[in-house]
Structure 1
Amino acid sequence: MDLKEIQNLIKFVSNSGVAEVKLETGDIKITIRTTLEGNSPDITYVQQAPMQQAIAAAPSSPAPSSPVAAVPSDENSKYITIKSPMIGTFYRKPAPDKPTFVEVGSTIGKGDVLCVVEAMKLFNEIEAEISGKIVKILVDDMSPVEFDQPLFLVDPS
């Protein structure tokens, strides 16, 4: 497990509202504890089993991340990208037998549910932070998504 994966895991845990996560893979053990009140910083312990050494890392307070960002591409410069606020599995429907939340061409308003991202058996509804029209859906249903991965292109006009 490299540093980038550990950082992504820390971001995921701090955004999920979970108090503690323990992960053991091979000879690496990771424990991430967060406070729900936000009174103290997140503390991460990474331990390699054969060496029995622990490394404590207190990440700097993460900047509030917004799942909305502008797309740099010229032809898409007028569109806004809605990104995943967490790592998980992307679902376009609330349940397999239900219709999709949005389609290309759907008009959305601020607060409308666009999709669900499942993370650690928790289904998190992703809501629109802007109003507009869905131009493109960038992820297939039931696909894994990364933190900050683009999900939708929205025309705000």
Structure 2
Amino acid sequence: MDIKEIQNLIKFVAKSGASEVKLEMDDIKITIKTGADDKGESTTYVQQIPMNQPVAQPVAAAAPVAEPAKEAPAASEDSKFITIKSPIIGTFYRKPSPDKPMFVEVGSKIGEGDVLCVIEAMKLFNEIESEVSGKIVKILVDDSSPVEFDQPLFLVDPS
């Protein structure tokens, strides 16, 4: 199972409303917990299993549970902005390497496809590209901070 498959599984579980899913395969064991508390945080554990031990059959996904209550709508001043969210769980970096300049700053003009940041997940650095054009209004995450799936990263003014 590669990183893309794990990321897709995390996205699927988050959207399904399941509170916990366990999956065991030949050499990997994954547990994904979502909505365990009202904070909306999700936890993913990936564990390698030594090959010489017997492996259990894959466990079916848990039955979906009711979705937690949605957050209150954003303030009216933020409603005109587009929020760019993290597509994966990992560590957020604002520059490609320590000796390079930041990808974007507050006030930077961006276009579709521009790289905004990098998120490191399991030693892989994933460039996060903009899907909108506009101007960066606010950067919501500090450099080198951990981020969750669907966590807001940037506010963009599309006008």
Q: Which residue of 2 aligns with 1:134?
A: 136
Distance 1:113 1:74 in 2: 28
Residues 1:137 and 1:144: Cα distance change in structure 2 (over 3 Å): same
Give deviations 1:9-55, integer Å, cap 9, x for gaps. 932699xxxxx9824xxxxxx389xxxxxxxxxxxxxxxxxxx7963
- Structure 1: give runs of 5+ residues left out of the alignment: 1-6, 15-19, 24-29, 33-51, 61-70
Return the offset for 1:59.
9.3
Residues matched between the structures, number: 111
TM-score by length of 1: 0.61
Query: What is the root-mean-square deviation in Å for CA atoms of aligned residues?
Result: 3.4
Please list, as runs of the form range in 1=range in 2, the aligned pairs for 1:1-157 lying within 5 A after superposition. 10-11=9-10, 22-23=28-29, 30=30, 55-57=59-61, 72-157=74-159
Distance 1:82 1:57 in 2: 29
Contact 1:131–1:156 (CA under 8 A) maintained in structure 2 = yes
* Structure whose residues are more often strand by fraction: 1
AA at the equivalent of 1:57: A
Distance 1:132 1:82 in 2: 12
AA at the equivalent of 2:28: K
TM-score by length of 2: 0.60
AA at the equivalent of 2:158: P
- Structure 2: give runs of 5+ residues left out of the alignment: 1-5, 14-25, 33-55, 65-72
Distance 1:10 1:152 in 2: 25
Distance 1:124 1:21 in 2: 24
Residues 1:123 and 1:13: Cα distance change in structure 2 (over 3 Å): farther
